[in-house]
Structure 1
């Protein structure tokens, strides 16, 4: 565990049921219990650790725990670079990982927010649509979506 500008930072790899190795990370407040959980969904060709550190640390300083995952083929995760064979795999991978965090005893009663940037906005929207009562809200930054 590392400490960076007031936040505890940890990295871990998980393996999906498809055998894909995915990079995950989290930023936690150093001293206080987080008031809610924020789950970051990054954009195409991006990743969760380096490019989102400043955002995550600002959120941690505001009292939130922040979690990220690199999609298959993105960042430090395995897979062909930026190749997405099935978008629903990304949605399922994120949903499974984020829900596993939210269901931990220490997080059970905390509010859960999705934070989607660009293509990650589409991931967040699809996760929220699959289980709208599970998530307390979503923050979308220039989401990849179309109106009908």
Structure 2
């Protein structure tokens, strides 16, 4: 099957009418889950996917990083399966504060420890397949993180694939005025206060209603779809960092983005 598994999903679950085991048997993909301990002694959930079809030759590695309103499981794993079926060994992790990983839910006061978590996990995954080309894939905030990793590890990655990367925060995402002006002070005084945007990040990230419903049905979905003040401020800083350093990218690049409508 060459089609993307999202076509099997419905608003009740990513596997449609199949069980998880049935889904993976149908697609002939081996799925493994584990935890790693980062340098802050936090448990970080990791997983991998690889085709078991004898007709599929292993041709490379893909390291995937999910967005702020997502996780490495649920709807995100469908893209991992699609990539694995093409002949890639795929790896992903839950950013801390997301899904099965340790950390306060949705709280990212500093992007640097998350970058280090990704590098730690992906370096370990690559060490077992050092002869194969490796690629980074990131969605939304994960796209920004993947870009910063590619900048920091210039000779490690053969390509960078970005799906709707967070390279800037549009007026639709920013806090209403004058809240944006007071965001640094709010982040200092009440770092976990949830900043109310015009719409939730789930509303902005998924245009199709059934996909938004599916994301919200995840057992590990965040209770609030609005980022804490410190996290919102860090997102703005990440965008500024990307703008300043994007010229340092020295890797084959593919950027895809949904259209309006």
**Higher fraction of helix:** 2
Q: How many Å separate the matches in 2 of 1:13 and 1:102?
A: 17
Alignment of 1:39-78 (within 5 A): 39-78=63-102
Q: Is the 8 A contact 1:116 1:139 kept in 2?
A: yes
Q: Is the 8 A contact 1:121 1:143 kept in 2?
A: yes
Partner in structure 1 of residue 51 of structure 2: 29
Instruction: Say yes or no: does 1:138 pair with 2:160.
Output: yes
Residue 126 (structure 2) aligned to one of 89, 102, 114: 102
TM-score by length of 1: 0.92
SS in 1 for 2:105: coil
Q: How many Å separate the matches in 2 of 1:28 and 1:74?
A: 24
Partner in structure 2 of residue 117 of structure 1: 139
Q: Deviations over 1:21-60 (max 9, x none)?
A: 1000000111444210000010003110212221111111
What do you get for the CA RMSD once the two structures are aligned?
Answer: 1.4
Structure 1: runs of 5 or more not aligned? none
Q: How many Å separate the matches in 1 of 2:89 and 2:123?
A: 14
Q: Is the 8 A contact 1:117 1:143 kept in 2?
A: yes
**Higher fraction of strand:** 1
Instruction: Give the length in aligned residue pairs.
Output: 145
SS in 2 for 1:23: strand
- Structure with the greater alpha carbon radius of gyration: 2
Moved over 2 A (4+): none
Q: Deviations over 1:52-83 (max 9, x none)?
A: 22111111111111110001100110110010
Q: How many Å separate the matches in 2 of 1:16 and 1:128?
A: 20
